[in-house]
Chains A and B, each alone.
Chain A
Amino acid sequence: MKDPYATIGTAKTASADDIKKAYRKLAKQFHPDLNPGNAEAAARFKDVSAAYDLLSDPEKRARFDRGEIDASGQERADASYYRSYAGGPQGARYSGGPGIDPSDLFSELFSRAGQSGGGFSRGGNEFRDLSMRGNDVSYSLAVDFLEAARGTSKRLSFPDGRTLDVNVPAGAEAGLVLRLRGQGQPGLGNGPAGDALIEISVMPHPFFHRDGVNVTVEVPVTLTEAVEGAKITVPTVDGPVSMTVPAGSTSGTKLRLRGRGLASKKGARGDQYVTLKLMLPREPDEALRDFIKNWDGRDYDVRSSLGME
């Protein structure tokens, strides 16, 4: 959703009158009835109307200005505010910036233990050797579909020049979090460092899709291959393999390539399911049309079994 002020073309400080004027001008320009068949104008008109709907209502406008609702009028999710992340492992990436020493407060608080008037006057000095585990720090890493399927090793680099090698296991699924022990923020005193948490996201593939541990792919076949049967080459995550299309196959026929899916946690691999998609020649074929015209079996029934007329 775009900024309604930008959509209408007025400043945030514009008066209700200015907004009305700006809206009318745009509405005249993009009204669908004045631009028949112009999809772009129709879309602009829709945006402009939605923006005006929000800005013309003083209460909604005020709530939008305060950031309580977004441009579509929805309550703004609190999660989009920086402060809701800053305290967690994700935010830890930013709390270790230059000049920020996470041990500052604790050493000030506890090293004066025993002295009167400051810190914790416990009387002893057991806090002097304060040790504390460092915070976990989370990072995100996007990998290709095939990299996730086969497993891969990635080197992350950090602004401070540090690098971290991450082994993404074969069959890794989006949302998987890899924990690298001791690669988070340094500990305090003799405390161990925290862990680095790497959250994996997987980029979509043009034709492979994931379904649990199985891979699904839609493969186009010609009329000839479907009618006569054929041996065709289909892609798998391991590379192309040869597969038999049985004679009399049709669009939607599902074939299984056992063991060509993704590695599961138990070690066994899933399967790949190939769904056939019957394709006629790209250019209409005269001879094919003549054949169909004179074909005895041309009126075969395909819908009644599905309860369709």
Chain B
Amino acid sequence: MTSSLDSAASEVGVAVADLTLWIERRWVRPTRCGAEVFFDDVDLARLRLIVEFRRDLAIDEEAMPVVLDLIDRLHATRTQLRRVLQGVAELPLSAQDMVFHRITREPEP
């Protein structure tokens, strides 16, 4: 499903002017085709997150891009970690054991 600018704004409860600003600031990056923009599920979920940050956690305009950037980095890293773990899962069991043993051992003083 996709939503237009207006329907996305009303769906998450923000003013169209705010939403336009957020797109300009690249806090949210809907797909663009000519003058139209399309919000899909991930964009709407991100909008809800921004709304919650602003309303419930009082994260202001200065801090928001920092927080969003950190979240994006976190997810990028999680994606990479998942790839590593998928790679590990394809190793023979004995090799997997070695990997996990080395990961979980106490750090050397």
Contacts and interface: CB of A to CB of B under 8 A. Distances in A.
Given A82-B48, A85-B41, A85-B42, A94 B31 contact: no
A106 B2 contact: no
Interface in B53-106: 69, 71-73, 75-84
Main secondary structure of the interface of B (DSSP, over half): helix
A87 B79 contact: yes
Contact of A100 (B4, B73, B78, B83): B73
A139 interface: yes
Given A140-B40, A201-B1, A159 B34 contact: no
Contact of B80 (A94, A106, A142): A106
Contact of A95 (B33, B41, B79): B79
A93 B38 contact: no
Contacts of B79: 87, 91-92, 95, 102, 135
Contacts of A83: 75
A268 interface: no
A82 B38 contact: no
Main secondary structure of the interface of A (DSSP, over half): mixed
Interface in A100-124: 100, 102, 105-106, 109
A82 B50 CA distance: 10
Contacts of A94: 29, 42, 46, 72, 75
Interface residues of B, number: 34
Given A91-B42, A141-B31, A155-B34, A82 B73 contact: no
Nearest to A175: B1
Given A140-B2, A140-B40, A157-B33, A85 B69 contact: no
24 contacts: A80-B48, A82-B42, A82-B46, A82-B71, A84-B45, A86-B78, A90-B40, A90-B42, A92-B79, A94-B29, A94-B42, A94-B46, A97-B26, A100-B73, A100-B76, A102-B80, A105-B80, A135-B79, A139-B31, A140-B40, A142-B38, A155-B33, A158-B29, A201-B1
